[in-house]
Structure 1
Amino acid sequence: MAATKKKGLGRGLGQIGGGINAMIPQNPDIKNKEKDKENVSRETLINIDTIEPNKEQPREYFDEEGIIELSKSIKQYGIIQPLLLKKNGKIYNIIAGERRWRAAKLAGLKEVPAIIKDYTEEQTLAVALIENIQREDLNPIEEARAYKKLIEEFSLTQEELSNKVSKSRASITNTLRLLKLDERVQEMLVEGQISSGHARSLISIKDKEVQYMLALDVINKQLSVRDVEFLVKDLKNKEEKDADKKNNDPKN
């Protein structure tokens, strides 16, 4: 599993769309500092016990099996890409790399390589969200929430967001639509009980309870995406016929 994740490790944050600096608002105080203080970008070893997760971390679910696999890789090869941290008093908050940090702790490392950045809270949020989107570490619901937060926090249009995260506007629109699903259905998607295809087929059902019942059918009857599409189509046809019948009823 660790091998499948190496694809993401080869890409820096600067590779995202117009680059991370095009996304995050610049801190004028940092801008005016001397170069060596401005970047604070040299890799250094940090005591793992002084590092804490980012409260704004968009990932809500960490695959334990994947972290175990990554910890084995770290034991053998070490951490290939340093964590990105922000100093906060005597501790360091993770901007990017929580999965590596968790795996390193599991591997028994006392210190981890890190780069310290003097980001503002706003910059930290942007980097944390975009880094996860870039690496495709998020499940569809986490990704949708990350898009929503980026749009709201930075007043972006979907077109602007598309350029920043190197995703098509259609992809972003379709992902955001997943947030219209019943929360129970969203949880099924997060847990991998239903696929994104199943979930998208259910979005057009306005009744959340019906959405949920159909999602249960997907799990219990092992329905394919095509099966769900047919069921949804039949249901909508029935609703239209019932509506026509009601409109044509002389009693109304």
Structure 2
Amino acid sequence: MQKRKALGKGLSALIPDEQGFEESERRFFMCPVALIEPNPYQPRVDFSGPELDRLVDSVKESGIVTPLLVSRYESGYRLIAGERRWRAAQKAGLDRVPVIIREASGREMLELALIENLHRKDLNPIEEALAYRRLLDEGGSTQENIAKRLGRDRSTIANSLRLLTLPGSIQQDVMEGRLTMGHARVIAGIKDDRARKELRDMIVRRGMSVRQAENAAKRLAAAGPGKAAKVQADAYYYSLSENLKRALGTKVEISKKKKGGRIVIHFYSEEELDRLLGILT
């Protein structure tokens, strides 16, 4: 049985880059844009935004430099990789685009589209996770096999798939950039949906870093659901102490009481005390 090659070693073996374009002239041809349909296995959902607008401007100026990868389909062709270029060509008013034909199964079309987006960092974390899930569901594969095929660690695949356990509203936050992949992983580590929502609100409202979110998650787990107000206050003071620590270059503790509180600034030598006094006075 022939061993399948891994796809995670770059796009150069699949799609020629600008330098390799001349070498591929014998393999590509100028295909009418109207004969090409999108890849139904495309993992990317959102193609809008300034990046596509810049690509349209580039296409108007220089045309399509790198050929699209397509397979034969009915009376035309179906995209495997290069959907952004295809969409940009349509917006730019091109009638024909350079394409290279490669026959591929549905699974291979998904893999090739996925690896193109991963290498070009075109997918948001949820789109990436959904693509892995589709490979598992439709390809009958395992996380380990997918990792080998895509040149990734199995833990990367597993951590990505965990994002799909999050409520749809939080997944939307990740897709729209309100939460980072790191934030989402912290929230995914909490099992209670109410606690997840409380932590999400704290992160967005306070603009927490991932480290601050991790600390808040620990406090929330210890306090239990419904204690978000106290946890949020604790997280706020922790955030302040971290900011002071970075500003002063030493350990800082803030403790809150019913009325007032205290700030403790640590020093470990007379020289460090003089340095801190120079900053504070």
TM-score calculated relative to the size of structure 1: 0.74
Distance, in Å, in 2 between the alignment partners of 1:153 and 1:171 is 20
8 Å contact kept, 1:184–1:212: no
Per-residue CA shift, 1:43-95, capped at 9, x if unaligned? Answer: 01111122221222111112421101111222223222111112222332211
Q: Secondary structure at the match of 1:232?
A: helix
Q: Secondary structure at the match of 2:129?
A: helix
Q: 2:45 aligns with which of 60, 67, 72?
A: 60
Residue in 1 that maps onto 2:108: 123
Residue in 1 that maps onto 2:220: 235
User: 5+ residue gaps in structure 1?
Assistant: 1-9, 16-40, 243-252
Q: Secondary structure at the match of 2:77?
A: strand
Per-residue CA shift, 1:162-214, capped at 9, x if unaligned? Answer: 22111122222211111111111011000111111111111122122332332
Letter in 2 for 1:44: F
8 Å contact kept, 2:195–2:220: no
Displacement, 1:14? Answer: 4.8
Residue in 1 that maps onto 2:84: 99
Q: CA RMSD in A?
A: 2.4
The within-5 A match list for 1:1-252 is 11-14=11-14, 42-239=27-224
Letter in 1 for 2:183: H
Distance, in Å, in 2 between the alignment partners of 1:121 and 1:204 is 33
Higher relative contact order (CA 8 A, sep 6+): 1
Displacement, 1:144? Answer: 0.9
Distance, in Å, in 1 between the alignment partners of 2:194 and 2:39 is 35
Q: Secondary structure at the match of 1:151?
A: helix
1:162 to 1:12, Cα distance in 2 relative to 1, 3 A? same
Letter in 1 for 2:151: S
Per-residue CA shift, 1:14-60, capped at 9, x if unaligned? Answer: 59xxxxxxxxxxxxxxxxxxxxxxxxx82011111222212221111
1:199 to 1:121, Cα distance in 2 relative to 1, 3 A? closer
8 Å contact kept, 2:43–2:110: no
Q: Judging by fraction of residues, say which structure has more helix.
A: 1
Letter in 1 for 2:84: R
Residue in 2 that maps onto 1:7: none
User: Highest Rg: 1 or 2?
Assistant: 2
Number of equivalent positions:
207
Residue in 2 that maps onto 1:29: none
8 Å contact kept, 2:72–2:103: yes
Displacement, 1:236? Answer: 0.9
Distance, in Å, in 2 between the alignment partners of 1:97 and 1:209 is 41
Greater CA deviation, 74-83 or 192-201? 74-83
